[in-house]
A and B are shown apart, each in its own frame.
Chain A
Amino acid sequence: MSDTAIKIENLGKRYRYGGAAPLSHNLRADITEWAKGLIRRREPRVQSHESQPSTLRSPPSPASEPSALSPQPSTPPHHPSLHEVHEKHLDESPEYFWALRDINLEIKQGEVVGIIGRNGAGKSTLLKILSRITPPTTGKITYHGRVSSLLEVGTGFHRELTGRENVFLNGSILGMRRAEIARKFDEIVAFAEVEKFLDTPVKFYSSGMYVRLAFAVAAHLEPEILVVDEVLAVGDASFQKKCLGKMGDVAKQGRTILFVSHNMTAIKSLCRSGFLLNQGTIVTSGEISGVIDAYVSSDTFAVCSRYWDSPTESPGPGPFRFKSIVLATDAPHRTDHLTVKTPFRVSIDLWASRPGTVNLSLQMNLLSGEIIFAVASQRIQLVPGEARFVCHFPSDLLNDGAYSLNAMIVEGDAPRYVLREALVFEVHDVARSGSWVGKWPGLVRPQLSWNCAQTTVTTLP
């Protein structure tokens, strides 16, 4: 037996932007194509697109295209099914994209592999293919043994059922035998610390209890290969530690683990090797610290500066327009890797085509759109020409996460123009002493001053 646990060859997965096509669009295209097919049935041509790669408009990369496309051109002509028509429809539209492309990997048995990448890099798609939730479009994966995947904590938990019933339900769904669950039942319950509530429906559980019970089931899986998506981000810190410890034990027993996380500290403490995904391909692989360095220094997502060449090109109406918006830091800090400890400034240049009293307002948002805070500059008198506004952001203000900044030009009391997502950037956590405790709660993470001292010494009754 070879010691290769997972072998991935030429793996690719194609999706369509915005999920499946709108319904009417789909159905109409399906039916008309299908009807056309009926009429053309006797013509000696191959209908299936998969046997006719030449009709593809422009495959993004030809490298692996023919290898996994099954039927050879010698396939006898046949009438396309609705499914094939649909596939063809997707292929001919420019709206599809490859979420994964040309992935080749070999993972040894007992390895703990970290998968790193920005949102949308293809990490989850890879895990979904590995877990057999969705089939690949090209290529194949060969693996030995049983795969259990934890893409979510508490998959299949039913609110109306009791804790006890849910342990069996969830365990079965994750691929455990009932006898196996029964054997480990007491251990699972003790791990989750919910003994007293076993016969209470989980809808009455606190969210902490719910997560603990769900993770306890998962932690007792004994597959040869364990696939873990970012599920550790839930639960309180001490329970996270317990789970990490449990996962470390699993790794020591010679199991292979694939671990996706945005938390570099967790990845570093758990994995020895890893790979970095970017836009569906593997950019770097190997020893974990090298991969993390590559990730941290790459910059494919942030917008840290914007320039406009002339007032006419600058967006928005009105006499006052943006010339540039730049996020900057001072050495030794790096603009391409902001941390919670990095002070930075946002510098905005404006063109003014007439005199006016102007101030600028900045609004800090989460990428999900929630506003964290807004700041406004003082008003200044402008005459035609250029002006510069600089706003200083101290360290220990933002939490780790991704943020966007809106910039608004205000004349007098009237807002003139709002530039949405003027800047988009990510703030990273810094390595902290002690073991990993995950993301800090809260939208901001200020460092406030404390006065702490013992005030009296006495024996309490």
Chain B
Amino acid sequence: MISSATTVISAERHERLRQFLKDLWDYRELFWTFVERDIKVRYKQTAFGVIWVVLQPLFMMGAFSIIFGKIARMPTDGLPYALFYLAALVPWNTFATALSQSSLSMEANAQLISKVYFPRVVVPGGIICGSFVDFGIGWTLLNGVAIWMGYWHWQLLPLTPFLLLIQACTAFGIGLVLAALNAQYRDVKHAIGFVVQVFMLATPVIYPASRLPLAAQQWMFLNPMAVVVTSYRATLQGVALDPQLLALGLLTSVLYLFLGVWFFRRREARLADIL
């Protein structure tokens, strides 16, 4: 009856990568449970429920189109304002939500973390995964609007999973660093809203990437979200994509992911003590 699996707890235990991966595998069901919980809870006791997922980007699209389009006359490289902004807002909004939620996830689950063991990565990981649902709905909306306006391109279909991967890796990587920091320095909590706003201004959401200075365009891959947004727009415009930019964007996002996991793992074991 007693399983022969032997576990050793020691000060160095959490430093071993094999142990980390084994724990992740052992707790895969909990990961899905967290994803399920987050999705279920998100729109409980709201009158509009899931409709919010559609309303939010639509409202923002409208506001951006009027303010930056009709009033500020922002150039769009030939796209209608509605599509120009929707193509950026759908990935950006899910990214921003996932990033800020995962940054605060350790604090939000402090009660759980101080009472039960599980690989802590599971919590922000679940949040990133859960954001795919919102993205899926927003993306369907984007496709609908693109078809309606006659700008739809088949390349959108194969491109999306690839761009979503870049987006998720970036949100997860940066989110992990901020989550670990927020566990110790609650300053992160106060800074996160501001950081996300600046991040948005640094990403070509409001303006087209072509308006960036040339030097900035060359280093754009350092902000993988810029690559994501630009690629969606380029596809809708029917412009050929830059494979080098895509590859560099993916590479950077994976780098961010590894950095985040590395940073988080160094602090993971002590989280329960400092939260």
Chain A residues in the interface with B (C-beta under 8 A): 1, 5, 15, 19-20, 23, 26-27, 68, 70, 81, 83, 109, 128-147, 149, 151-152, 155-156, 158, 160-161, 165, 168-169, 172-174, 177-178, 201, 224, 253-254
Contact = CB atoms under 8 A, between A and B. Distances in A.
B2 A68 contact: no
Interface string B254-275: 0000000000001101101110
Interface string B1-15: 111111111111110
15 contacts: A68-B10, A81-B266, A131-B116, A133-B272, A134-B272, A140-B9, A142-B7, A143-B7, A152-B115, A160-B45, A161-B37, A169-B37, A174-B116, A178-B33, A224-B1
Contact of A156 (B3, B13, B14, B112): B112
Given A140-B8, A152-B115, A173-B30, 17 more contacts: A1-B4, A26-B185, A131-B116, A133-B113, A133-B114, A134-B272, A138-B11, A142-B7, A142-B8, A142-B9, A144-B7, A149-B117, A151-B115, A160-B40, A160-B45, A161-B37, A161-B40
A2 to B, nearest CB: 10
Contacts of A143: 6-7, 9
A131 B114 CA distance: 10
Contact of B116 (A130, A146, A155): A155
A106 to B, nearest CB: 14
> Which 3 pairs of residues, A with B, have the shortest CB-CB distance?
A140-B10, A132-B117, A172-B33
B10 A173 contact: no
B186 interface: yes
B83 to A, nearest CB: 36
A253 B187 CA distance: 50
Contact of A134 (B2, B41, B45, B273): B273
Nearest to B267: A83
A222 to B, nearest CB: 10
B9 A141 contact: yes
A109 B2 CA distance: 9
B30 A141 contact: no
Contacts of A132: 9, 117
B132 interface: no
Interface residues of B, number: 41
B10 A139 contact: yes
A136 B185 contact: no
The listed residue with most A CB atoms (<10 A of its CB), out of B4, B11, B40, B118, is B11
B40 A68 contact: no
B242 interface: no
B185 A173 contact: no
B70 interface: no
Contacts of A155: 111-112, 115-116
B37 A158 contact: yes
Contacts of A83: 266-267
B8 A141 contact: yes
A173 B118 contact: yes
Contacts of B18: none
Contacts of A133: 113-117, 272
A149 B9 contact: no
Contacts of B33: 168-169, 172-173, 178
B22 interface: no
A13 B117 CA distance: 17
B62 to A, nearest CB: 31
Contact of B1 (A130, A169, A254): A254
Contacts of A128: 272
Contacts of B2: 1, 5, 109, 144-145, 224, 254
B26 to A, nearest CB: 9
Contacts of B3: 144-146, 224
A133 B9 CA distance: 11
Contacts of A1: 2, 4
A129 B115 contact: no
A438 B112 CA distance: 27
Nearest to B12: A70
Given A145-B2, A152-B115, A160-B44, A15 B7 contact: no
B28 to A, nearest CB: 10
A286 B273 CA distance: 31
Contacts of A141: 8-10
A413 to B, nearest CB: 48
B13 A135 contact: yes
A224 B5 CA distance: 11
B184 interface: yes
A19 B184 CA distance: 11
A143 B8 CA distance: 7
A160 B115 CA distance: 20
A83 B274 CA distance: 12
Given A128-B272, A133-B115, A173-B112, A23 B8 contact: no
A254 B1 CA distance: 9
A165 B40 CA distance: 10
Contacts of A149: 116-117
B114 A144 contact: no
Interface in B228-275: 266-267, 269-270, 272-274
B9 A129 contact: yes
A351 to B, nearest CB: 48
Interface string B36-68: 010011001100000000000000000000000
